[in-house]
Structure 1
Amino acid sequence: MSSDSVRTDPVATDPEYGETWVYESIVGAIPGVDLSDRSAVTVQFVLFEGLVLAFAALYDLWAAVPAGTAAVVVAAAGSYVMLALGAQIRQVEVPDTYRRLLFSSSIEVVLGVLGFVAFLTYVFAVDPHGGSPPLFRALFREVPPIPVIYLALLILWDLCYRIGTGWWASVTGLWRTYRFGGEFEEATRSRLLRIDLLTIGFALVQLLLVPFVWPREVLVLALLGHVVAVSVVSGTSVVWLRRG
């Protein structure tokens, strides 16, 4: 089988290493833990939201709860999308080259790190000199306690990682359609179309974060630009798939 051939044996059992996102590999490697996708996302949401509410009660930071909850919701939605995309892609007849590029390269981690570092650069180097109150001060009204900072940065990394995953799924999806679109049967194109629409859907969910970074133009433009870019890239793949 050549590297560009289309796999005709979609994975029906547990995925092997190299057939998963880094997130899935970590969850699957935890000894004694065997959660369904829905359970894994539910545990993630309950854990992070529980910590948000607990810290709000402990440090009287209730004003930060809406922003924290929105971030937890978007991160949980990202986890669901990652699991759904991974499962659907492993069950459809697609080229091995596409699978390896999507899963084995771990580029989504690199994109997540770049996004997280860019955000921290903005928070520490740009935001304090802007016309609006610094983001953390606007959310917490004062310098937050260390546990709150730790949780906030952890949730922000979670968001950046999943946003990076959405970007990588979008870019590789367009390349897949451009490179192999003419080889797919109708049923395969329909399933890949749903995968691209799911990628766009997750990007749109991230608009929930816009009200909490308003009116900081850099963050607003970054979020809106990201959503528009993913929608255009994956939308182009959708158009090509529909044209056959």
Structure 2
Amino acid sequence: MGVAYSVGEVDHLFTFFVQWSPDIYTKGNKKHCQPRYLLGEKQQNHYLVVENKVAVMSKLLNNSVNPTAIITVKDSKCRLSLCGSEDSETEEPEYQEESDDVLVLSDQSLLLDDQHLQELAAHMPARTQGYPWQLVYSTAVHGSSLKTLYRNMAGLDSPVLLVIKDMHKKVFGAFSSDSFRVSKYCYGTGETFLFSFNPDLQAYRWSGENSYFVSGNLESLQIGGGGSGFALWLDSDLYRGASFSCPTFHNAPLSTQEDFIVQDLEVWTVGN
């Protein structure tokens, strides 16, 4: 449970923490020299999330601060818009270091098991937490066609998870901050990352060297670039692919071989 305060009250609250427990919030204690809070801003909504001891905090502040809402830390993460990727195009987001959560799928996946889902959950941006993942495209259901993939994603404005299994049974893919579409220019944000299972999850985040996140046309879909090849490339039939190391993610090739054949492919999107 947490208490949400306006931004203008943050300094007052921090001063109170220092006076109340100087042994915890003074410079002499490096481990706890800052109070545990999350400060977020979305449009005109400003809030501070303070973990635990809600009742004690309210009493000790002597009503000098009026909380505007009571929310949990998890709820505060879910308040971030699923479609807010344009607001932070050059910023690398914060990710949770550890998680006991598992991605919840609305349909049965042919490629991801429970272990995959648990490992992937720890790398997902906070704005996707608490929402179910819906299958938007599958070669097993919709056939092998990049045009069909684009058509199924028309009108979507949410993150997507691309999962591939090659003919050598290796599973890999990418999380994209934006849904796939035909575009003349690259799109996406620093939330975008690559992954492969070897058999444990290996994740490759944005390096910051360039912004060649995702680009697509009717002939191919490309993720990452700036070097001798794309981090992930798929042809118009979603049958042949390639994966090379690239500056965008400083990744190792994701597939068993740099050129691979797709056995199955799925794309999942977050819905609320």
TM over 0.5: no
Which one has the bigger strand percentage? 2
Normalised to the residue count of structure 1, the TM-score between the two structures is: 0.28
Structure with bigger gyration radius: 2
The TM-score normalised by the length of structure 2 is: 0.26
Structure with bigger RCO (C-alpha 8 Å, 6+ apart): 1
